[in-house]
């Protein structure tokens, strides 16, 4: 069984996806309140920031331009063989192609190990294959919660090529939101409440604002490491 398909087609993910309503237009470009100590995280208010504090992290410039080039060099030939997928009714992601990769060049393995080292406490069981998602300029990721069947409490992703905005929306109260500015070569980490109690999405061109400022979308590749669910 390939985790890629399990992750993307799980009923849990669908339920989360189709259970969530579209964003009210008034939220677009709302400045929000900054999470203290981070200029890449803003939220709808102090309570929601308190809730996700320590569970949402964005590290700018986590990888160098050279490390980004090295990752792209390994990924582009694989991705280029695939076609972008649009308009599948059942997809959480629009305008994308993807792959998963278990074996990496030595330099890329070192980069990914650095991601794992900061995202997961030592000994955390992790999904072996790394998920690589290539979203076209016109593509986007709709609100969803990663399947609890295939993904544990931590999701860590590198963003390559383009800046974007990831929005978390509380499943309990849709007016509680947190926006993450994901600059090129940054790393984001979602843990615990941020991963389980909020949907996450990557905003499409035209809706892509952070703190009231437009973040122009281009093609974006993410490289995502996940922990495994505990098998109690």
Using CB under 5 A as the criterion, which residues of the chain lie in contact with Mn ion when the complex forms? 146
Nearest to 218 by CA among 165, 172, 176: 165
Question: Nearest approach, Cβ of 99 to ligand OGA (angstroms)?
Answer: 12
**What, of ligand OGA, Mn ion, none, does residue 157 touch, CB below 5 to 8 Å by kind?**
ligand OGA
CB-wise, 50 or 90, nearer to ligand OGA? 90
> Could you give the angle at the alpha carbon of 155 between the alpha carbons of 151 and 159, nearest 5°?
135
Q: How far apart are CA 139 and CA 6, in angstroms?
A: 21
**What, of ligand OGA, Mn ion, none, does residue 222 touch, CB below 5 to 8 Å by kind?**
ligand OGA
Nearest to 184 by CA among 153, 158, 206: 158
3 state DSSP class of 117: helix
Question: Nearest approach, Cβ of 202 to ligand OGA (angstroms)?
Answer: 6
Question: Nearest approach, Cβ of 180 to ligand OGA (angstroms)?
Answer: 10
CB-wise, 3 or 33, nearer to ligand OGA? 3
CB-wise, 70 or 98, nearer to Mn ion? 98
Q: Which residue is nearest to ligand OGA (CB)?
A: 222
Question: Nearest approach, Cβ of 220 to ligand OGA (angstroms)?
Answer: 7
3 state DSSP class of 136: strand
Residue 128 backbone phi and psi in degrees, to 5: -60, -60
Q: Which residues contact 86 (CB under 8 A, 6 or more apart)?
A: 94, 95, 139
Q: Which residues contact 213 (CB under 8 A, 6 or more apart)?
A: 29
DSSP state, 228? P
CB-wise, 170 or 222, nearer to ligand OGA? 222
Question: Nearest approach, Cβ of 66 to Mn ion (angstroms)?
Answer: 28
Q: Which residues bind ligand OGA (CB under 6 A)?
A: 133, 141, 146, 157, 200, 202, 222, 224
CB-wise, 48 or 221, nearer to ligand OGA? 221
């Amino acid at each position: 069984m390939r985790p890629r398909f399990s992750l993307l087609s799980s009923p849990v993910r669908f339920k989360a996806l189709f259970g969530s309503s579209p964003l009210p237009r008034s939220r677009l470009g709302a400045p929000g309140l900054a999470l203290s100590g981070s200029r890449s995280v803003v939220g709808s208010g102090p309570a929601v920031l308190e809730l996700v504090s320590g569970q949402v992290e964005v590290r700018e410039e986590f990888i160098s331009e050279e490390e980004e080039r090295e990752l792209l060099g390994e990924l582009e030939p694989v991705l280029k063989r695939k076609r972008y997928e649009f308009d599948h009714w059942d997809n959480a992601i629009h305008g994308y192609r993807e792959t998963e990769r278990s074996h990496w060049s030595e330099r890329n393995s070192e980069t990914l190990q650095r991601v794992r080292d900061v995202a997961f406490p030592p000994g955390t069981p992790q999904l072996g294959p790394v998920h690589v998602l290539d979203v076209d300029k016109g593509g986007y990721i709709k609100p969803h919660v990663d399947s609890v069947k295939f993904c544990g409490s931590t999701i860590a992703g590198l963003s390559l090529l383009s800046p974007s905005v990831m929005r978390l929306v509380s499943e309990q109260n849709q007016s509680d939101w947190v926006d993450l500015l994901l600059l090129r070569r940054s790393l984001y980490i979602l843990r615990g409440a941020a991963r389980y109690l909020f949907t996450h999405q990557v905003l499409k061109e035209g809706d892509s604002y952070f703190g009231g400022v437009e973040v122009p979308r281009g093609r974006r590749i993410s490289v995502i490491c996940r922990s495994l669910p505990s098998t109690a």
